[in-house]
Amino acid sequence: MERASGVLMPVSSLPGRVGIGTFGREAYDFVDFLARTHQRYWQVLPLTTTSFGDSPYQSFSAFAGNPYFIDVEDLVRLGYLCENDLVVLPFGNDPGSVDYGTLFRGHRALLERALPSFSAAPPADFGEFCAANASWLDPYCEFMSIKEGLGLKAYYEWPKRYRSRGEESAALCDRHPERMRYHQMTQYFFYRHWKRLKGYANERGVLVIGDIPIYVSRDSVEMWAAPELFRVDANGAPVCVAGTPPDQFSSTGQYWGNPIYDWAGMAEDGYGWWVERLRASLKLYDLLRIDHFRGFESFWSVPFGAPDSSFGHWVKGPGSDVFDAAAEQLGKLPIIAEDLGFMTPEVIAMRERTGFPGMRILQFGFDAEGDSPDLPHRYVSNTVAYVGTHDNETATGWLLDSATPDAREKAARYLALAPGETVAQGCNRAIAASVSDTCIFRMQDLLGLDNSARINTPATVGKNWRWRMLADAVTPEVEAELSGLTVTYYREAGGQPPRLAE
């Protein structure tokens, strides 16, 4: 990777009219901001559908996109909606936070208003889209249609005759073609609008870093339509589920509950499902961040039904074989390895064998005792440097809420803060100055926000994924500071030298 920088900003956190960030005008404005400040990358969180808890890391599908991100103003321009539809339906009243309960009702009602006119006059390429994506689109639309017909219950709570994809489930879907068409329509617009937005970014020299979770949700179309991909019992229930051992976030570990892949079975066909997943993801993004990369070397396996994740144990994974198989078909893989958590020599060796850059988190360096590898003087070039990820406190929030006196003193000494410089500014400067080929700034840190802007607190449910940037948050001063960091530390897109003041 060339020496460059970028910004981590979830699409959901963009400002806008419909209660959540979208692929609409505000996303194009954000791309323009990145281009003006010489950024090479826009890093986003997973763009897949969300389920209970609203986490983008717990999706109904590994391939389907989140309908919340559709540019509804484009549907007005196309005549499928009218302007008044965007005014009369509820989407939430706080421009700085996503109200998922209100959004769930209002946004669905909005898109359903577009369905009759869409069905009467679909776009010319709609049929081509459905045919090209049938391998994942058809089962996804069936899965969601049945789920909605059964009160949104998890698929494993459905009547037995519908718990696997077959004639009974197909017959039920045939009786409700409007549900099928709704999901076809929303996926069509998701992919149409994202392709247009990504193209706009690429034309301006901005590349998109996507994020794909290693696992899928238990309540997912993959578990319903392709249970052979996972370790399941005779009734289709998981034998074991994913999590993490006890760590700094939780004394009992994190119980994720995702089904574990049948890695031995996947190996028999050359990891075909993973190859197709990576192929599809590389059409959506320019680079991929693989979440929980260490799980390919070994993963924390928890017996299904255990009280918490502390009952789990480590199990060997497929190692780099998955990526070797994918590279044979897809070529060189532009992947960033999320190599955080409990690292072992084996995980490090796997990462080095792939050649993927790993991640360094400055905040961890200040919280650790002694000479931490997360402090910039320990970085190597083939890494991506962050102050923190979406799972961490903001830099300001860390200083105010959880940093120990020793950690605060360590940070102040290490950063050598100038008079008037905040800890967030000092942290941003430190990762920009590091030898890491890439540094990614969090938008909240560029704005100097406290933990009210935190994206996610691991091992908690109910108050995450809500933060949204206010429409007037990006000031000329914010732009000047980001541009200054980027140019001064030779991260300007295109490799231009710093411009000195005259």
Catalytic residues: 291, 338, 391
Burial of 435 (0-12, 13-18, 19+ CB in 10 A): middle
Residue type, 495: G
Q: Cβ–Cβ contacts within 10 Å for residue 327, how many?
A: 16
Q: Cβ–Cβ contacts within 10 Å for residue 334, how many?
A: 16
Contact 13, 467 (CB under 8 A): yes
At residue 200, φ and ψ (nearest 5 deg) are: -60, -45
In this structure, the strands spanning 335-337 and 313-316 are unpaired
Per DSSP (E only), the strands in 224-294 are: 240-244, 254-259, 287-290
Task: List the structure tokens of 189.
Answer: 């617009």
DSSP code of 120?
Answer: H
Between helix 405-415 and helix 423-433 the angle, nearest 10°, is 50
Which of 418, 463, 424, 454 lies closest to 441 in space, CA to CA? 424
Contact 487, 493 (CB under 8 A): no
Task: List the structure tokens of 80.
Answer: 């499928």
**Quick one: which H or E segment has residue 181?**
helix 177-203
In this structure, the strands spanning 41-43 and 207-212 are parallel
At residue 487, φ and ψ (nearest 5 deg) are: -75, -45
At residue 42, φ and ψ (nearest 5 deg) are: -115, 115
Spacing of C-alpha 57 from chain mean position: 7
Task: List the structure tokens of 481.
Answer: 């500071």
Q: Is 284 helix (H, G, I), strand (E, B) or coil?
A: helix
Contact 141, 133 (CB under 8 A): no
Spacing of C-alpha 184 from chain mean position: 22
Q: Please list, in sequence order, all residues whose beta carbon lies within 8 angstroms of the beta carbon of residue 476, skipping any fewer than 6 positions away.
A: none
**Quick one: which H or E segment has residue 441?**
strand 438-442
Terminal CA-to-CA distance of the chain, rounded, Å? 32
Per DSSP (E only), the strands in 260-410 are: 287-290, 298-303, 313-316, 335-337, 358-361, 383-386
Which of 270, 181, 196, 222 lies closest to 48 in space, CA to CA? 222
